[in-house]
Amino acid sequence: MSVRKLAAGNWKMNGDLAALEQLDAMVEAAEDASCAVLICPPAVLIHPMVARVAAGDLHVGGQDCHAAASGAHTGDIAAAQLRDAGATHVILGHSERRADHGETDATVRAKAEAALAAGLTAIVCLGETEAERDAGRTLDVIAGQLDGSLPAGATAANTVIAYEPVWAIGTGRTPTDDQIAEVHALLRTRLSERLPDGASVSLLYGGSVKPSNAAQIFAIAHVNGALVGGASLKAEDFVPIIRALDAAQG
């Protein structure tokens, strides 16, 4: 089964209207690539970003959504509202949300199910802390997070899994190729056991992905793309990552 390759950028709480100028080169790269390209900006930039990319082959997504469809949830955004603004994807369960907002696997699962109901593709994030890695618990932690966070109704068409070791996010550190391969092999096996099309679910790696290491990471088995943080803010950094993914085999 073929697996769709995806280069996804997470702008986190960065960017403004002037930053949208970076999109022009990204759209051009996306149109020349066979892989899918996605940018997830702060919520206030979703609609203007959608307008900026227009008919270009670049998707726009959100960074979070509420599990409820509507209601008295001041400051939150419903999945349907993201969809209405033009988003096609939403990142859920990122380690910064889990750590800063106390999100549990059950919370992430509920949000992912809301995203699927609204017609969004859910990018479900998993990752171990440095303490968990040092204790030799990485595979148990990742397996537990996958089992607890995977939404009902998940398919290869509506769900993406992103492995982001917490200790590698924004630190400049990356796991070894063998460490990444071990986790991605586990994810592929468990998804294949749980879903009829689990062998085709896109698996992304995230955590200090940059132009200098992208090709090496994309050569690892079962790595189908990346969830990129800081390097997705500027075209000069993100475009080479898109091209590296497009050139990767498998």
Least confident of 28-42, 169-183, 232-246: 169-183
Question: How many other CB atoms sit within 10 Å of the CB of residue 31?
Answer: 12
- The answer to whether 156 touches 198, Cβ cutoff 8 Å, is yes
Model confidence at 198, in pLDDT bands (50, 70, 90)?
A: very high
Dist CA 150 CA 142 (whole Å):
12
pLDDT for 248 equals 95
Active-site annotation holder among 59, 89, 94, 184: 94
Percentage of the chain beyond pLDDT 70 is 99
Does a structural domain hold residue 81?
yes
Pick the closest to residue 170 from 124, 230, 216, 226 (CA basis). 230
Active-site annotation holder among 59, 96, 164, 222: 164
pLDDT for 115 equals 98
- The answer to whether 146 touches 77, Cβ cutoff 8 Å, is no
Tokens of 4: 């769709």
The 10s digit of each residue's pLDDT in 127-144 is: 999 999 999 999 999 999
What is the count of structural domains for the chain? 1
Tokens of 243: 């091209």
Tell me which amino acid residue 186 is. Answer: L
| Residue 94 annotated to the active site | yes
Residue 106's domain comprises: 6-247
Model confidence at 245, in pLDDT bands (50, 70, 90)?
A: very high
Question: What three-state secondary structure class fits 1?
Answer: coil
Does a structural domain hold residue 223?
yes
| Residue 101 annotated to the active site | no
pLDDT at 168 over 90: no
The 10s digit of each residue's pLDDT in 53-91 is: 987 899 999 999 999 999 999 999 999 999 999 999 999
pLDDT for 94 equals 97
Mean pLDDT of the chain: 96
The 10s digit of each residue's pLDDT in 202-223 is: 999 999 999 999 999 999 999 9
Does a structural domain hold residue 1?
no
- The answer to whether 165 touches 133, Cβ cutoff 8 Å, is yes
Gyration radius of the chain over CA positions: 17
Residue 56 is part of a domain; what is its CATH number? Answer: 3.20.20.70
Question: What three-state secondary structure class fits 178?
Answer: helix
Residue with tokens 């209207």: 17
Model confidence at 240, in pLDDT bands (50, 70, 90)?
A: very high
Does a structural domain hold residue 54?
yes
Pick the closest to residue 80 from 124, 45, 120 (CA basis). 120
Does a structural domain hold residue 99?
yes
